[in-house]
A and B are shown apart, each in its own frame.
Chain A
Amino acid sequence: MIPDGASVMIGGFMGVGSPHRVIAALVARGARGLTVIGNDAGRPGFGIGALIDAGCVTRCIASHIGLNPSLQKKMIAGEIAVDLIPQGTLAERIRAGGAGLGGVLTPTGVGTVVAEGKQLLNIDGRDYLLEKPMRADVALLHCYEADYYGNLSYRLTARNFNPVIAMAADLVIAEPDEIVPIGLIAPDHVCTPGIIVTHLVERPH
């Protein structure tokens, strides 16, 4: 379902709230040429780090790679291209991509290397950068509960980028800890609506 060369958004923060079973399946299949978009690069062998170690990734777009020295080495050696984006800007660019917006104006990055090549706009006396929306072919999420309709709920800090990327990809694959009958997740507790989730990963038996 995920072709070589695809752009893939992956939920999680240092691997917490990442879809580890789907990541393991991509490693086992020997996926190649992926552009991976996520908060960070996990740790070596863990989270997005597992895809990087297995040679699945040619480009990594993230806010922080400090806890993955093997990616830093591959970046300096020119084996993997890395784009670093401030965390809040990454979240808002993906949100804009999923919300039909033409971009966002943020004060973050003004006066830094992040501003290079970007339009600077002064709104009511304050400078902002125009940051463009971001979408991907595939979003891979982890969630706590899913019902068979695809409604998702999250737990604590495992939520992070998951509901944001769910809105910004054509194929949305969720890996739940539990799958429950429709109706068991209260409408107020559904954080990602099932209608935008295209596939659920079955629980391991």
Chain B
Amino acid sequence: MDAKELIARRVAQELRNNTLVNLGIGLPTMVAAYVPQGMLVAFQSENGIIGFGACPPEGMEDPNLTDAGGGFISALPGAFAFDSATSFALIRGGHLDMTVLGGLQVDAKGKLANWMVPGKMVAGMGGAMDLVAGAKRVIVAMQHAAKGQSKIVPELTLPPTAARTVSLIVTDLAVIEPTPDGLVLLEHAPGVRVHDIVAATAAPLIIPETVPEMRL
């Protein structure tokens, strides 16, 4: 199993029945492939649909039906299409149970940066600031490190996405929960030792007496 699949499988365990969930572009989108069997999750794409499914077979694509990244999708029975103001009313208005977003950095207080690197990458925040400000639970799904540098840092050096603390961080090495006391190591990935995680993390971690292995 590669790192991205491991992260997606672990995040999928956070899904709950009969909830509204928004998945960010990239790695978070993979979570939809691992919904536990028998569970009903309504996925929202912020460009304007709830209840979408996989890309249709070649030749069956609808140019008026795509996800937020512009990829073709299908509408499942019971789907609902809406405009952008309604889409973000759902996101900000307390209707969105969970969002899964990628991250560039998360700091010791659980603050997320994921929308720009000054002078280099100016993608724009898209819907990320609204998602972090509005969703009931915010889960960051990202690789633990990039170019050998820990993405979990004592303090953000990149512009924050929101003032709010995220709910959970899932990486290829660990599951970490931000709390008022600091970042708590909840689980380790299979074959990864706790002291390896501590060594790979620039921010201080609180290590409970027992740290179970992720069950995938």
**A residues neighboring B (CB under 8 Å):** 13-17, 39-40, 43, 62-67, 72, 75-76, 82, 84, 86-92, 94-95, 106-114, 144, 154-164, 191
Which of A43, A110, A114, A156 is in CB contact (< 8 Å) with B81? A156
Q: What is the CA–CA distance of A39 and B68 in the complex, to the nearest angstrom?
A: 11
Q: Tell which of B41-49, B136-144, B175-183 binds the partner.
A: B41-49
Bound-state CA distance A87–B66 (Å) is 17
CA distance A108 to B163 in the complex (A): 9
Asked whether A163 and B47 contact (CB < 8 A) given A14-B69, A87-B88, A156-B64, the answer is no
Given the interface pairs A14-B70, A16-B66, A113-B159, the reply to whether A108 lies near B84 with Cβ below 8 Å is no
User: How far apart sit A114 and B164, CA to CA, in the bound complex (Å)?
Assistant: 14
A16-B70, A156-B62, A160-B48 provided; 7 other pairs, C-beta below 8 A? Answer: A64-B124, A86-B129, A86-B130, A87-B84, A113-B159, A114-B129, A157-B48
User: Known contacts A67-B70, A112-B161, A157-B47: does B125 contact A84 (CB below 8 Å)?
Assistant: yes
Give the residue name and chain of the B residue nearest to A110 (CB).
Answer: B163
What's the dominant secondary structure at chain B's contact region?
A: loop
* CA of A89 to CA of B131, assembled, Å: 11
Q: Are A156 and B75 in contact (CB under 8 A)?
A: yes
- Across the interface, do A161 and B83 meet the contact criterion of CB distance under 8 Å? yes
* B63, B81, B125, B127 pick with most chain A CB within 10 angstroms: B125
Cα-based distance from A9 to B122 in the complex (angstroms): 22
Task: State which size class the interface on B falls in.
Answer: 35 or more
Return chain B residues, CB-CB under 8 Å to A89: 129-130
A103 and B126 CA atoms in complex are apart in Å by: 20
Residues of B148-167 whose CB lies within 8 A of A: 159-164
Chain B residues with Cβ below 8 Å from A63 are 124-127
Q: How far is the CA of A15 from the CA of B83 in the complex (A)?
A: 15
Say yes or no: A64-B88 contact (C-beta < 8 A), given A111-B160, A161-B83: no
- Distance of A113 Cα from B126 Cα, bound (Å): 14
Whether the Cβ atoms of B122 and A75 lie closer than 8 Å is yes
- Whether, in the assembled complex, B16 has its beta carbon less than 8 Å from a beta carbon of chain A, the answer is no
Residues of B close to A159: CB separation below 8 A = 48, 81-83
Given contacts A64-B124, A156-B62, contact A13 B68 (CB under 8 A): yes
Q: Which of B62, B85, B121, B129 contacts A108 (CB 8 A)?
A: B129
A155: contacting residue among B64, B67, B68, B162, CB under 8 A: B64
When the two chains form their complex, are residues B134 and A108 in contact, meaning their CB atoms are under 8 A apart?
yes
Q: Are B122 and A87 in contact (CB under 8 A)?
A: no
Which B residues are in CB contact (< 8 Å) with A91? 83-85, 87-88
Does the CB pair A160–B84 fall under 8 Å? yes
- B197 sits at the interface (CB 8 A): no
CB distance from A123 to the nearest CB of B (A): 14
Chosen A-B contacts, 29 in total, with CB atoms closer than 8 Å, are A13-B47, A13-B66, A13-B68, A13-B70, A15-B70, A16-B63, A43-B70, A66-B126, A76-B122, A86-B128, A86-B129, A87-B130, A88-B91, A88-B130, A91-B85, A91-B87, A92-B88, A108-B130, A108-B134, A109-B129, A109-B162, A114-B125, A155-B65, A156-B75, A157-B64, A157-B67, A157-B81, A160-B47, A163-B83
